[in-house]
Amino acid sequence: MKVYLIGGGIASLAAAAFLIRDAGFKGHDIIILEESKMIGGSLDANGSPESGYVMRGGRMIESKYLCTFDLFSSIPTLDNSQSVTDEIFAWNKTMKTASRCRLFRDGKSVDAPLFGLSESHILTIERLEAEPESLLGRTAISDQFAPDFFKADFWYMWCTTFAFQPWHSAVEFKRYLVRFTHMISGFSTLGGIMRTVYNQYDSLVRPLRHWLEERGVQVLLNTQVLELTTLHAADGFAVEQIMCERSNSPHAIRVTSSDLVFATLGSMTEGSHFGAMDRPAILDANSDGSAWSLWKKLAAREPDWGNPENFSSHIEASKWLSFTTTLHTSTFFDSIRDLTGNAPGEGGLITFPESNWLVSIVLPHQPHFMDQPQGVDVFWGYSLFIDQPGNFVKKPMAECTGREIMTEIMGHLRLSEKTTDVLSKCICIPCIMPFITSQFLPRSQGDRPAIIPSRSKESRLHRPILRNGR
């Protein structure tokens, strides 16, 4: 009995670990097929001090991430000194998040900003928490609130914490309200937010991959799955072959009746494109890698496999741009410490509400990469309104080079006199992602496929877009 996991992101890695730990599978019977040359999917981080470090995104966690901590309680750190879960909790006892500058407005930090919600806003939030999802349907967040809600500091903090836009799904907004209600009291200081010691690739993906490979799990990189051929019968259908391409050579994997197939359909970071210090990232509106094309092929044959077009055909509503900056000077980090009162790693996300791009930055504890040398700092940022002209650089962020993005950031921080020094000693790499919030787009019943498709005998699906039974 073999298990085939299509896609090498955290969903497949976690599935492999649970199959070994909880279901008694042998590692050598599990095969992960990954299109790219790296494992980890969206939990990526790589680079060097010379070329610049890069990570497309980062994730904040908190103590109630029970499934995450359950999984990583079984995974040792790379030095084998403790479990990854124990490392995270020990680290966050020392490095507690307590932001003194969640918002930075008019050249000044805003310490513990008030939410600025009216009675009407609060009543709408309470209604959404209680209202059945079936009644919200395809409505957007903007359908539920008056326009002034989107000028409240609560919205600036909420939307940049989770990357929500006013046109996103009211159902998803409701789900996040319910899921993170217990965090609201510390929301303006990011109290309760936990972080890994390093970026999530180094702290989570690498230990997990090492544990899997020690147990014989096969990871086939540069392997693009093109199609799943299916065999139909009166009682359902089953995957018969996995058609793929390995290093540009076609390959077919025969699937027996006793095998299991898990497929990741769609991808938040599919079609990502990196720019450089003097080159903007380029949006490819036709970027459609195998994670989306495979789903489209399956859905064309089987209606129960959902509607991928709902999530992949609205790039204007699902895109945004992040950037990673590598600094060979302490000037920037020292200035942020002086402006905010937070040391790197203490403060978390800093948002500029006056920014036409609605840009946010975060300065993690250093080093943020395991191989990052002393004297090099790395920070990350992103923007939601990337088609708007900047406040200081008069062009849309989507058209900006890394140099222009850093110039805009320095302007918001009122550090223009230090811009020349910082720009001469930094590498800012922008990254545009067309599908990054595709999972938040309004949807109808059936657009998201069930985890186990109807009438499927041995197929399982996973990704943020799937229905989870709610």
What lies within 8 Å, CB to CB, of 313 at 6+ separation is none
Write the burial class of residue 22 (CB in 10 Å: 0-12 exposed, 13-18 middle, 19+ buried): exposed
Taking the CA atoms of the chain, what radius of gyration do you get in angstroms? 22
Q: Are 58 and 322 in contact (CB under 8 A)?
A: no
Instruction: Determine contact, residues 419/223, Cβ cutoff 8 Å.
Output: no
Give 456: exposed, middle or buried? Use CB within 10 Å, 0-12, 13-18, 19+: buried
- Exposure b/e, 141-165, CB count within 10 A at least 16 = b: beebbeeebeebbbbbbbbbbbbbb
* pLDDT tens, position by position, 388-433: 999 999 999 999 999 999 999 999 999 999 999 999 999 999 999 9
Residue 347 has, within 13 A of its CA and on its CB side, a CA count of 27
Two tokens at 266?
């769609």
Q: Tell me the helices (H) and strands (E) count for the chain, helix number first.
A: 15, 18
Question: Where is 317: in which H helix or E strand?
Answer: helix 315-318
Query: Looking at residue 237, what is its pLDDT?
Result: 80
Distance CA 63, CA 215 (A): 29
Residue environment code for 361-382, b if the CB has 16+ CB neighbours within 10 A, otherwise e: bbbbbbbbbeebeeebbbbbbb
Map out the domains of the chain as residue ranges: 118-184, 320-433
The CATH code that applies to domain 320-433 is 3.30.9.80
Q: How far is CA 235 from CA 238, 421, 454, 455, 456, in A?
A: 10, 69, 11, 7, 9
For 161, the 3-state DSSP assignment is: helix
- Identify the pLDDT of residue 332: 98
* Residue 115 Cα to chain centre, angstroms: 25
Q: What is the pLDDT of residue 362?
A: 98
The phi and psi torsions of 220 (rounded to 5 degrees) equal -100, 105
pLDDT tens, 298-334? 999 888 899 999 999 999 999 999 999 999 999 999 9
Residues whose CB falls within 8 Å of the CB of residue 217, separated by 6 or more in sequence, listed in order: 16, 20, 27, 28, 30, 31, 32
* Tens-level pLDDT at each residue, the chain (470 residues): 999 999 999 999 999 999 999 999 999 999 999 999 999 999 999 999 999 999 999 998 999 999 999 999 999 999 999 999 999 999 999 999 999 999 999 999 998 899 999 999 999 999 999 999 999 999 999 999 999 999 999 999 999 999 999 999 999 999 999 999 999 999 999 999 999 999 999 999 999 999 999 999 999 999 999 999 988 877 778 899 999 999 889 999 999 989 999 999 999 999 999 999 999 999 986 765 788 999 999 999 888 899 999 999 999 999 999 999 999 999 999 999 999 999 999 999 999 999 999 999 999 999 999 999 999 999 999 999 999 999 999 999 999 999 999 999 999 999 999 999 999 999 999 999 999 999 999 999 999 998 887 767 656 556 555 554 33
Q: What is the pLDDT of residue 253?
A: 97
Predicted TM-score (pTM) of the model is: 0.94
Tokens of 220: 């086939």
What pLDDT is stored for residue 172 in this prediction? 98
Q: What is the pLDDT of residue 466?
A: 52
Phi, psi of 284 (to 5 degrees): -105, 100
Q: How far is CA 221 from the centre of its chain?
A: 21
Residue 171 CA to residue 168 CA, distance in Å, equals: 9
- CA distance to 120, 245, 353, 361, 427, per residue, from 109 (Å): 28, 52, 11, 13, 26
Any idea what DSSP says for residue 25?
Answer: -
For residues 423, 421, 197, 78, the Cα torsion angle rounded to the nearest 10 degrees is: 70
The predicted pLDDT at position 306 comes to 94
Query: What is the 3-state secondary structure of 265-278?
Result: CCCCCCCCEECECC
Backbone angles phi, psi at 51, to 5 degrees: -95, -15
Cβ-based neighbours of 127, under 8 Å, separated by 6 or more: none
